[in-house]
Amino acid sequence: MSFSSLKKNNFMPGEYRKISERLFPSDGFSQGKEPDIKTVTGFAETLGIGADYQRILELESGSSCMQVFLEHFQNNLELLIQKTWVEKTEEKRKQKLQDDVPHLLATIKQGDFSKAIEQFSAIIDELAYLLFGAQSEKEDFPEYTFRIDEQMGLFWWYTSRLTLLKPASPDDKNDKVLWAVLLLGICYLTNF
């Protein structure tokens, strides 16, 4: 996020801006400047999912409990997609989005969190379009969602910043911080 985009985020309440800046620094990420797990957990608390997130974060990524959680996420996300009303011309778009969800889960199971973040971001962009229509493609979309509900606005703001995250090293696709940040969105949508 650049300084100019921070000026555009004046709609964000101060307490949200502080935790957001810690998670996604305005000067970007450099080696050793990635957010730590404590920062991610603080962001989860601000989103209103702190206790659930902490419990899920402590699970092993391949455990049966994590698989059950991911199934709940998939079911909730598919329900959100199915319940959206779209014009007949956009039914293919909606179906493609439903088809993308299992690919995301397969990538997560493989442990490639960098790729999973890219896939999750694409899914979220499409979900935003299904839920909010053309408004989701406008520059003021985060401000629009903050006016509806501050925590929901913070979630959509978070999703718009996800692709800024990169692994600590190019060879590290199984980065704990990437997983923790991705898990924020998964946990939020599971509880949506």
**pLDDT by residue (tens digit) across 5-56?**
434 556 777 778 888 877 877 655 544 555 678 888 999 999 999 999 999 9
What was the pLDDT predicted at 186?
96
Instruction: Name residues whose C-beta falls within 8 Å of residue 52's C-beta, 6 or more positions apart in sequence.
Output: 187, 190, 191
Q: How many residues does the chain have?
A: 192
Question: What would the pLDDT profile of 139-159 be if each residue is shown by its tens digit?
Answer: 889 889 989 998 899 999 899
Q: Single out the residue of 53, 74, 88, 51 nearest to residue 120, CA to CA.
A: 74
Average pLDDT over residues 68-94: 89
91-96: long-range contacts, CB 8 A cutoff, minimum separation 24 = 93/126, 93/129, 93/130, 94/130, 96/126
CB 40 within 8 A of CB 23: yes
CA distance 128 to 77: 12
Q: How many percent of the chain have pLDDT more than 70?
A: 85
Q: Where are the domains of the chain?
A: 3-190
What was the pLDDT predicted at 2?
33
Is pLDDT at 167 greater than 70 in this prediction? no
